Structure formats: C-alpha cells, structure tokens
Amino acid sequence: MMTFSPADLFLILPELLIVTAACIILVLDPVLRASDKDGLVWLSLGTLAVCMGLTASQMNTSAAIFSGLVVIDAYGAFWKLLFYFVTGLTILLSHPYLKEERLYFGEYYGFVLLALSGMMVMVSSVDLLTLYLGTELMSLSLYVMVGLKRSEPRSLEASAKYFVLGAFSSGILLYGISLLYGATGSTRLPEIAAAISGRNLDDPLLLFATILLAVGFGFKLAVVPFHMWTPDVYQGAPTSVTAFMAVAAKAASFGAFLRVFIEGLGGLKANWSAMFLVLCLATLILGNILALVQTNVKRMLAYSSIAHAGYALIGVVATGHIGNSSGIASVLLYLSLYAFMTFGAFAIVAMLRKGGIEGEDIDDFTGLAKRHPVAALLMLIFMVSLAGIPPTAGFIGKLYVFMSAVEAGLPWLAAVALIFAVISAYYYLRLVMVMYMREPSDLSSTSPRMVMSPALSIVLACAVAGVVIFGIYPNPLVNFAMQAVSALK
Amino acid sequence: MTGFPWLTLLIILPLAGAITVFAVKERFVRLTALAVAVADLLISLPLWWLFDTSSGEMQFVESARWIPSLSINYRLGLDGISLPLILMTTVLMPLCILISWHSIERRIRSFMAMLLIMESAMIGVFCALDFVLFYVFWEAMLIPMYLLIGIWGGPNRLYATIKFLLYTLAGSVLLLVAILVLYFQGGHTFDIPQLSQGTYSNSLQFWLFLAFFAAFAVKVPMFPFHTWLPDAHVEAPTAGSVILASVLLKMGTYGFLRFSLPMLPDASQLFTPVMVGLSIVAIIYGAYMALAQADLKKLIAYSSVSHMGFVTLGLFMFNIQGIEGAVMQMVNHGITTGGLFLCVGMIYERTHSRQIADNIGLTKPMPRYATFLVIFALSSLGLPGTNSFVGEFMILAGTFLWSKIAAALASLGIILAAAYLLWMVQRVAFGVPDPHILPKLRDVNLREMITVVPLVVLIFVIGIFPNPILTRMHPSVEKVIARVFPPAAEHASVMPRLIPFTPSVERITSPTGPTFSQETQTTSEGRP
C-alpha cells in the first residue's frame, strides 16, 4: 500500500536540490558564453553548501519515508556529508584541471551532481530496487565522466571497459535481488531481515542470493577478484574523475553494501563473514603486491585503493564475528579518513599535469622537492598517511580497524594486514624517495613552472588538514561515525 | 613533584622549533635550532634534581584524555629508567646540531627540522605511559630518520634508508598487534603501569613476547636482525649516525625493559636462554666483524652490535646488577659511541674519507683530535675509570651469577673490543701520515671542542661517580625484578637479586667487596 505525504518531500530536499541544480546546469550550459561558465561552478558549490546544512540538521532524525523505501537517519547523513565534502573538492579540483586538459564541458558539473544524487539514494534506501536505481544513477554518470577525454583512446577504452563490467555487475546485483525476493518475498530490508530470522540459514536459495549480492557489490567496491577494471579505468579517466571515483563512489558502494548486509542480511552474518574474510585477504595481498610493480602513479594509487578496500573489509569481517557495531564504525571511520589522503594524493597528480607533461609517471615526480617544495611536502604527508604511519589519519583508521579485528578474536588477520601495510610502505615511500632523494633531471627543470591555483590550494589545504588534524585528534569524527552506526538496525 | 608540565614542554619545544626554523632567515637557521636544543636541555636538567630518588613510581605524571572511545590517554611520566635516557637525548641533540654546522650545506632548514622532530619523538618514546602514545612516538621517528639518511646520506643512501625503514617498520607492526591484544586481555586499557600489573596466560605471553621481540630486537639490533645497522650508519650523515647509535638503539632495549620484562615475566624467563644466546653471539660476532672493518663507521657500527649485546644480556639476567648495568650501559653506549661517531664525522669533514687507510697518523697534525679519539676508544673498550667499565662490569657480575660460562663467553667481547679499538687507534692516531693529506688536517676548532668536551666530561664523571645514576634507577629496577620474581614466590637460596647490592663505587671497583663473597654463595646453590 503506497502512501505519500508531502512532508516526505521536505526530508529528501537535499536530493531534490542536487538533482534540480544538475538539471539547471545541463540546461544552462549550451546557452552560456564560455566566459560565464564559471558561474556553474559557483552554482554547484552553493547547492552543496545548502545541502550540507540541511543534511546536518537531519542528523538526529530517523524517519522512513515513501512508505518505507527510503530512510532519513544518522547513518545516511554521515555518508551524505562525506559525499558533499568530496564532491565540493572534486568540483574545485576539476576547474583548473579541466582547463589544463582543454576539456570545456559545462555538463561535467551536471554529471558530478547527478552521480552525487545517485550516491545519496544508495546510502538512504532500504529497498533493494531503490538502491539499485541509485547505483545505476551513479554509475551511468560516471561512465560518461570517465570517457570525457574523447580525443584520447585510453580514456575511451576506460569508459567502455567500465561500462561493460559495470553493466555486468549491475546484472549480477539485480539477479541477487530477484533471488532474494524469491527467498524472502520482499525487497525491503526490514522485511527481508524478518523473513530470514525465522528461516533455516542453510537454505541454498538464500545463500546463492547472498553470494550474488556480494559479487555485485564486490565489483563496485573493487575487491579482489572483482577488481580487474579498476587500474585501467582509474588510469584512463581524467584525474579529477579518478579522485571522485576512488573516494566518493567507493564510499557510496560501502555505504549501501553495509546497510544491505547489516540491516537486511544481518541474520546470515556467520555465512557472509567467512566469505568476506577470503575476499578481504585476497584484496589485501593482491592489491598491495600489484601496487609494488606499478610505474604509473595513477595506477599505483588504483591498486592502493583496492588494498584500502581490503583494510575496510576487515571491519566488516570483524562485525560478522562479534556482532557489535564497533567493526562497522571502524569501516565508516576508515573510509572517511581514507577520503582525505587519497583525494589529496590525486589532487597532487592532477596538479602535475602541466603543459606537455602528463605528471602520471613516477619519474615525473623526480626532484619535486626542489621544484615545488610545498607540493612535495603535501604528497609526503599523504603517502605517509596511506602507509598508515602515525601521527596521521591513516594510522588512526588502521588502529580502529585492527582493534575491531583483535576484538573479534582475529589477531592473525590484523597481523597479516599489517605485514602488507609494511609492503605498502615500500611503494608509497618510493614516491617520497623519488621526490626528495633524486635530483630533478634536465627535462623537468625546463618544464613549465608549477603553480598552485587558488582552487587547488583550497582542495589541498582541506585534504592535508583532514589528514593531520584527524591523525592527532580523531574524536569528532569517531563520535560521528559511532552515532551513524547506532542508527543502523 | 610539581604540577608543571615538564615533559609536555620537553616534547613540544623541539616541535615548535622545527616549525620556527622555516620562518627565520637562512643564516640564523643553525643558531635557532641550537638555541631550541639547548633550551630543551636546560628544561630537562632540573628534572634530575627534582626527581624523587626513593620512589620507583612514575613521576612528573601528566594525564589527559586523548581518544576516549578507545580509552587512549595522553599520559606521560618518568621513572629512574627513563630519566637518564631522556637526559642523554637532550645532551646529545645540541651536539648533533653543532657537528652539522658546516657539514650540511643543502636544505639546512629541513635538516634541522628533522633533527628537532626526532628529538620530540625520542623524548616521547621514553616518557609515554600510554601504549598507543608510545607507539605513535615510536613510529613517528621513522619518517624523519628515513629522510635524514635518504636526503643527506652517502652514495648508497637509497638502499640503506629503505632497508632501515622496512626492517624497523616490519618489526613494529607486530608490536601494534600485540598492543591491541593486550588491550583486550588486560582490562581494556592502554595504560602501561596498569598493564604491567596484569597477569596473562602462558600461551598469550609466549606470542606477545615474540611480537615484542620482533619490534625491539630489530631496533636494538640483536643478532641476526642487525644487518640494517651497518648500512644505515655508513650512509647516514654524522648527526644521523649519532642519533641512531646513541638513542634509537636504546629504544629497543628500553622496550624490553619497560614492556617485555614486567608485562610478560613468565615468557621472559622462558626465553632467557634464547636471549642470552643471541646476546652472546651478538657480542662475539659484532666484535669479530668490527675487527675486519676498514671503514671507521662500519667498525663502530659493528662495535655497537657487540655492545648492545651486553645490554640485552644484562637485561635478561633479572638481577639487580644485570639490569642496572644494562641501563648504565645504555647511557654509556650513547655517550661513548656518540662521541666516536662525532670523531669520525670530524675527520670525514677534513679528508672526505672514512677509511682507516686514508686517515693514518693523526696525532702529530691533530693532537687534540687524537686525544679525544683515544679517550672515546678507551671508554668504549671499558677501561676502569671510564663510564663503560661500570656498566660492563655490573653486567658481567650479573651474568656470573646466572652462568659462569655465559659470563666467560661475554668477557671475550671485552677482549676483542680492546683488540679492534686499540688496533684502530694504533693506525689512526699513531701511524705514519700520508703527506698528501697533511694540509687538510687542521686540529679541532672551538666549535668542535664544544661538541665533544661535554661527552668527555660525562665519560669520567660517570666512570668515577656512577652513584647518582644508580640511586635514581634503583627503585625502578627493583620494581621490574619484583615482577619477574614476585616477592610471594621468594626463596632466599635461589634469588640472586636478594644480594643487598647497594650501589656504590667501592663495591663495584673493589674485587674483595661484599658483592663477591655473597655472589659465590648464591651461584653455588644455583637457580631453578
């Protein structure tokens, strides 16, 4: 029985505003003169700021709307605030970067906002079909954004690859949803949970549905062995889009994934935690080892983002083992801290794109400490944080995740993950070595002087502030994550 | 005890200095850094006298909530074990800055900033009372040291610095797992004194000991985890070598003493034969390797392996002589080896070679330099009257109580030390100089005198009056021993620590003192 109340519309006002802004941008773009197109950037940022305020005010609400398709709760608010923040940074980063790449598409900002609205739907839907719609909205926008460099084959290849594999994984996800519907008679998470609680947990239909859902999400999260698309897509996409995908899209997938597996399939914990344990180990091992041999920084960061998904999965596995919420809180914390350092690292890569220099090869970083000491120092901080060395945000994230693993009685998992963290330190610090311990070659000393545009400075300042401040004083974020998780049923 | 936040100030000041050096004019960078390090020294000195020598408890304790959701606190404090180590650090830092005055030309601001950040982290390690805080400081110094070797190091610096980083990082990640396990087993706390009171099952202690061992043994470094040390020492700039040898290595032995022994007493006893065996191997192997070195820095690096073997040997004797000797030796090794590295740095500035063959016969052209070198070498080989004699003697006395054979084997290290050091001195100081290098050989100037004289003074002061240090550490060491052998299980005949060893020079230096007569009684009855 579908009921609709106008008050529901007020609760999804942020989503509505974002979609409206996206539509306005798409309409205005063809009619605006090129010199006025900066206005679109301001429009997007303004909308984000308003939505941030609205969502922050919803922190303490807990309401199921549209007859239980969507909930507005602290859990969704946590992710949405993270998405606004990352989207804002993406827009600021894109502005100078797209100019450098000579990509003048006003609709770019429209697609960013559409992807954002998709993410927002993903983390607040409690109905699997709504969730699927959100996933598709996000993915379709990203397919376009990845292929934005139309003149470059690599970008087109990335887009095509991403589309094919993305469509494939969406199919699997949908298949899982339909099987789950067959097994439980519903697509709503609370009803699924209720149906599972009275069931024999070894029901093959139920298990098969769980596996398909895990595989479908596995593609979106880019965990091994469903990671194959990641390096190519991350490398081929414009760097600003890569940063957006590596941070926001990954976070959105985690947000939806956690809600489905905790709220809907929480009864099957014992079954899925063993499965995710295997995925987690495979991701940690392969992600870190493959990152070792990369010479392209974007590719290296792609593998590092795979590996980081593995670290976040530790929290999921731990939750499956102990059943309290500290594991989930650690995942939220990990991904939000990961957002700062990964976005910062990609922003530096984007900054190196200058003139004829691509700025993606590891050799392009040679002697950066001489050429641009500030950029080198920031990259050093991001790399140290990604390696998880204190006193940075990366360490705090790892501390919480490993804490939940040890609490769940899996100290060996923490030990394995930490040993791979040492391996990761090798490739992160190789970049530091290149920047600080090698002299700039003749080629790079004649290359155009690098300047940090004001927009880029804001992006980097936000990222480094997050890494350093939360590395020393993580309490506000920790409390926020805990509040968010307590909203999860 | 005062409520003044001494320790926070000690940690914050160098950090603030590290930022300040980027703000001042280029020509004031060195002076600023020196002023900060000297100010830190001046702040640390009063602690020596304010310290309550009768108490084995933590003093100057500061506590603040840091991450309440995991009950991680910002807790600092000092006891008799950490006090001498902190003072050693603050004494050495100004000297490190002085020795780098002219030898570092490139990126002087970053260099000084790295040194000062290291100082903060090192002091933090020695006075952290929260295990996570300890770990943060412990790891935080990796990156500055990595950059210090990698940017300002020698030709093979890239290999040496990544090797250093990966070895120490690999060791310390297992420490983190052990810390987290302890948190859940020890009553959901990271408080070090509280965790040191807990009792843990034997199998848990076994695994935790191995994890602790991985972190601390790499840092000490114990045989066979020492291979990063000669590489790192040879490539590091002089100040880096001094910090590495004098302070960083002590963090490993400090870790054994602060964590392994009191938290895991049963496992510590279980592993004693292994630890003693590895220590003796390190003593002899390090000394043999030192004999074969043609590079002065490598020679000193291997001598460090050998000397640190004495420290780990003393720690695992679980008697007052052994452990107090070990702490003494930690301080002494810091002073003496720091001094030797400073000497090598000075000669390298002149001849641009660290090879013994290139630096022969320095007494004629550089009499003052040769004097200092000889003093440091004699101290390093443990000549009576110098600081190392006190420490090594106590360690050997402690070892003798445990096993005569072990003591005899360890003594070999002293003989070998005399061999490689005297042989080095014979060539470097008393050979026939190469006429080509003579013009380069200016004797030490005032700045260099100021750099080494404090260490020379300390060598003799500690060598002749070790009591002030011993009395300060005595209650703390007794506390550690009481953890390994709880007083309830005391059995007069088997407890070597029952020997009333009131530290005093007379007893240490006179072979007929009461120590020895009682020692014989005890050993004859053996240990369980």
pLDDT in tens, A224-260: 899 989 999 999 999 999 999 999 999 999 999 999 9
Q: What is the pLDDT of residues A164-177, one digit of tens each?
A: 999 999 999 999 99
CB B336 within 8 A of CB B249: no
> When comparing pLDDT for B514 and A217, which is higher?
A217
The whole-angstrom separation of Cα B169 and Cα B126 is 19
What is the average pLDDT value for chain B, to the nearest integer?
86
Spatial CA neighbour of B330 closest among B131, B82, B120: B82
Say which DSSP state B227 is in.
T
Please judge whether B177 and A384 are an interchain contact, meaning their C-beta atoms are less than 8 angstroms apart: no
Is the distance from CB of A319 to CB of A261 less than 8 angstroms? no
* Chain B residues within an 8 Å CB radius of A324: none
Average pLDDT over residues B195-218: 90
In a domain, B199, yes or no: yes
Write down the pLDDT at residue A224.
Answer: 86
Minimum-distance CB partner of A389 among B69, B143, B162: B143
Q: Averaged over B434-442, what is the pLDDT?
A: 79
pLDDT in tens, B120-150: 999 999 999 999 999 999 999 899 999 999 8
Residue of B503, B507, B498, B463 lying closest to B329 (CA atoms): B463
Number of domains in chain B: 1
For residue A267, the model assigns a pLDDT of 84
pLDDT of B505 strictly over 50: no
With a cut of 70, say whether residue B440 has pLDDT above it.
yes
Predicted pLDDT of residue A283: 95
- Chain A residues near residue B151 by CB distance under 8 angstroms: 436-437
Half-sphere exposure of B93 (CA within 13 A, CB side): 35
Instruction: With cut-offs at 50, 70 and 90, classify the pLDDT of residue B497.
Output: very low
Q: Which residue of A has its CA nearest to B184?
A: A407
| Secondary structure E strands in B56-169 | 59-67, 72-78
3-state secondary structure of A127: strand
Name the least confident of A302-316, A471-485, B429-443: B429-443
Task: To the nearest 10°, report the CA torsion of A228, A229, A230, A234.
Answer: 150
B334: tokens are 């810091």
B312: nearest Cα among B387, B397, B250: B250
Shortest CA gap B208–chain A (Å): 11
CA dist B36 → A172, B82, B120, B199, B449 (Å):
63, 22, 11, 43, 20
- Among the partner-chain residues B139, B151, B181, the one whose CB lies closest to the CB of A390 is B139
Partner-chain contact B181 A411, CB within 8 Å: yes
Domain of B477, in residue numbers: 6-486+493-525
Measured between alpha carbons, how far is A5 from B68 in angstroms, rounded to an integer? 42
Cα within 13 Å of Cα(B53), Cβ side: 9
Q: Kindly state the tokens that stand for B456.
A: 């020379």
Query: For position B515, what pLDDT does the model report?
Result: 42
Which of the two residues, B516 and A306, has the higher pLDDT score?
Answer: A306
Q: Scanning every residue of chain B, which has its alpha carbon at the shortest distance from the alpha carbon of A471?
A: B136
- Average pLDDT on A9-18 reads 90
Query: Which range among A95-109, A220-234, A405-419, B75-89 shows the weakest confidence by mean pLDDT?
Result: A95-109
pLDDT of B491 higher than 90: no
Q: What gap in Å lies between CA A150 and CA A142, rounded to an integer?
A: 14
Structure tokens of B138? 């412990």
**Window 34-73 of B, Cβ < 8 Å to A:** 66-70
Residue A462, token pair as written in the block: 């936000």
B513 pLDDT higher than 60: no
Nearest to B69 among A432, A436, A478 (CB): A478
3-state SS class at B191: strand
Give the C-alpha separation, A431 to B132, whole Å.
Answer: 28
Closest CA to B160 of B233, B80, B55: B233
Report which DSSP code applies to A264. Answer: I
Q: CA of A417: which chain B residue's CA is closest? A: B173
Name which of A429, A474, A479 is nearest B165 (Cβ-Cβ).
A429
Q: How many residues does chain B have?
A: 528
Kindly tell me if the per-residue pLDDT of B527 is higher than 60. no
Residue A116 counted as domain residue = no
Contacts 24+ apart (CB under 8 A), B490-496: B493/B522, B493/B525, B494/B525, B494/B526, B494/B527, B494/B528, B496/B317, B496/B319, B496/B398, B496/B401, B496/B402, B496/B522, B496/B523, B496/B527
d(C-alpha A229, C-alpha A214), whole Å: 17
Residues of A in contact with B67 (CB under 8 A): 396, 474-475, 478
Instruction: Give which of B233, B225, B240 is closest to B145, Cα–Cα.
Output: B240
Is A353:A100 a contact under the CB 8 Å cutoff?
yes
Question: Between chains, do B143 and A437 touch, taking CB under 8 Å as contact?
Answer: no
Cα A449 vs. chain centroid, distance in angstroms? 32
Count other Cβ atoms within 10 Å, centred on residue B233. Answer: 27
Given a cut of 90, is residue A214 above it in pLDDT?
yes
> What are A251-295's pLDDT values in tens digits?
999 999 999 999 888 888 888 888 999 999 999 999 999 999 999
Report the distance separating Cα B287 and Cα A223, nearest Å. Answer: 51
pLDDT the model gives residue A444: 53
Question: What's the confidence (pLDDT) of residue A369?
Answer: 86
How confident is residue B367, by pLDDT bands cut at 50, 70 and 90? confident
Touching check for B146 and chain A: CB below 8 Å?
yes
Q: d(Cα A63, Cα A240) in Å, to the nearest integer?
A: 35
pLDDT band at A3 (very low <50, low <70, confident <90, very high): low
Write down the residue that tokens 């298949």 correspond to.
A175
Nearest chain B residue to A427, by CA: B162
Neighbours of B174 (CB within 10 A): 23
Q: Is residue B1 part of a domain?
A: no
Chain A residues touching residue B150 (CB < 8 angstroms): 433, 436-437
Q: Is the pLDDT of residue B310 over 60?
A: yes
Shortest CA gap B136–chain A (Å): 5
Q: Which residues contact B254 (CB under 8 A, 6 or more apart)?
A: B81, B82, B85, B125, B126, B330
| pLDDT at residue B525, as a whole number | 40
Q: Residue B71 pLDDT more than 70?
A: yes
pTM for the full predicted model = 0.91
In which band, very low, low, confident or very high, does the pLDDT at B193 lie, cut at 50, 70 and 90? confident
State the Cα–Cα distance between residues A51 and A46, nearest whole angstrom: 9
Task: Please check whether residue A122 lies inside any domain of the structure.
Answer: no
Q: Is the pLDDT of residue A459 over 50?
A: yes
Give the CA distances from residue A401 to residues A306, A325, A395, B221, B225, in Å, rounded to whole numbers and listed in that order. Answer: 16, 12, 10, 30, 29
Q: Is B376 helix (H, G, I), strand (E, B) or coil?
A: helix
- Asked if A143 contacts A241 with a C-beta cutoff of 8 angstroms, the reply is no
| Mutation site, A380, A406, A475, A482, interface B, largest B CB count within 10 A | A406
What does the CA dihedral B359, B363, B367, B369 come to, rounded to 10 degrees? Answer: 30
Q: For tokens 């499965």, what's the residue?
A: A275
CA distance B497 to chain A (A): 37
If you count residue pairs, one on A and one on B, with CB atoms under 8 Å apart, how many are there?
84
CA–CA dist B389, B509 (Å, integer): 9
What rounded mean pLDDT belongs to chain A? 89
- So what's the pLDDT on residue A445? 53
Q: Tens digits of per-residue pLDDT, A52-88?
A: 999 999 888 888 888 888 999 999 999 999 999 999 9
Reference B381, options B319, B295, B291; nearest CA is B291
Q: Residue B101: is it exposed, middle or buried by C-beta count within 10 angstroms (0-12/13-18/19+)? A: middle
List the single best residue of B15, B167, B176 to mutate versus A (max A Cβ within 10 A): B176
Q: Could B162 and A406 be called an inter-chain contact, meaning their C-beta atoms sit closer than 8 Å?
A: no
Token pair listed for B38: 């000297």
Residue A339 has pLDDT above 90, yes or no: yes
Contacts of B3 (CB under 8 A, 6+ apart): none
- Contacts A424 to B, Cβ<8 Å: none
Contact list, B68 vs chain A (CB under 8 Å): 475
Residues of chain A neighbouring B132 (CB-CB closer than 8 A): 399
Higher pLDDT, A357 or B478: B478
Q: Do B150 and A407 touch (CB under 8 A)?
A: no
Q: Where is A64: in which H helix or E strand?
A: strand A63-65
- Per-residue CA distances from A192 to A1, A75, A185, A263, A324 (Å): 17, 19, 8, 9, 20
B143 CB within 8 Å of a chain A CB: yes
Q: For B70, which of A403, A414, A430 is closest by C-beta distance?
A: A403
C-alpha angle B152-B330-B44 in degrees, rounded to nearest 5:
75
**Residue A386 binned pLDDT confidence (cut-offs 50, 70, 90):** very high
**Rounded CA gap, A282 and A310, in Å?**
8
Give chain A's domain count: 1
Confidence category of residue A143, pLDDT binned at 50, 70, 90: very high
| A113-130 average pLDDT score | 94
Residue B160, chain A, CB below 8 Å: the answer is no
Q: If you average pLDDT over residues B256-273, what whole number do you get?
A: 91
Residues near A91 by Cβ (< 8 Å), separated by ≥ 6?
A41, A44, A45, A48, A109, A112
Cα distance between residue B305 and residue B300, in whole Å: 9
Residue A293's domain comprises 270-489
Model pLDDT, residue A446? 52
Q: Which two structure tokens, joined as six digits, stand for B66?
A: 């840091």
Say whether A437 and B150 touch across the interface (CB within 8 A).
yes
User: Is pLDDT of B154 > 60?
Assistant: yes
If you measure CA to CA, which chain A residue comes closest to B134? A390
Sign of dihedral through CA atoms B36, B38, B42, B44?
positive
Q: Mutation test of the interface with chain B: which of A418, A424, A426, A470, choosing the one with the most B Cβ atoms within 10 A?
A: A418
